[in-house]
Amino acid sequence: MSEHDDLVKAQQETLARPRLQYSFAARFFFFAMDLVTGKATTLSKAKLIETLASIPYRAWEGKKYVALSLDYAKDAQVKTDMGIVDWSRWAQDNEYGHLLVLEEKMRQDGIKDAWYLAWFIRWAFITKYRLFSWLFARLSLRAAWRFNGEFEDHAEHVYAQAVADHPEWETQLAKGSYAEQFYPGLTTWADVVRQISLDERHHRDKSFELAQQV
């Protein structure tokens, strides 16, 4: 089976799987985002999601570095916390890569940012979500990881549906420095977005795995 076939299969699995029974906090967050961006999946909306998506991982990394500074003599704890730090670094870089790839796609298509991507509105979103993530990480990492798992489940479905909604992406070649850097070997924009959806699934699964370990 080719990589394309694997990605199509993963997308179909996502579309066939119901979304999670989200918590009140997650439902309110998604409602507020839809209120600003509309319910339709657009590349601008996906960029807003990715603008926020890396923030919790930085909050977790910061909290664990404090723990590493205090508990450096506890070998087992150091190993566990370093694993979380390493994964958080990878995940936030992966999410930022999504943002760069989406920006590249919109630029190639001549699509302008929606009004809610104006810098001052993005700054407001980022500032509030940074505070939310910082507080969540310090009050309860388990709850923070669960919420992030819900966020990533939502994002996984958004991207899978976006591919279904844009059959023209199946023949659009994914050319560009960021697409080639982050997703070498994928030839169409449909497969690139399918892979982003699959990345979000991995983030979801790891978030729930961490939540179960504490």
Q: 152-165 pLDDT, tens per residue?
A: 999 999 999 999 99
Structure confidence at residue 51 as a pLDDT band (50, 70, 90): very high
Interval 43-53 mean pLDDT: 95
**Residue 108: which CATH number?**
1.20.1260.140
| Total Cβ atoms within 10 A of residue 210 | 22
Q: How deeply is 122 buried, as exposed, middle or buried, from its count of CB atoms within 10 A (0-12, 13-18, 19+)?
A: middle
User: Domain range holding 26?
Assistant: 3-213
Note the pLDDT of residue 11.
Answer: 97
From 201, 122, 87, select the one nearest 154 (Cα to Cα).
201
Structure confidence at residue 214 as a pLDDT band (50, 70, 90): low
Q: What are the phi and psi torsion angles at 83 (to 5°)?
A: -65, -40
Question: How many domains is the chain partitioned into structurally?
Answer: 1
| Local structure of residue 28 (DSSP, 8 states) | H
Length of the chain: 214
d(CA 50, CA 40): 16
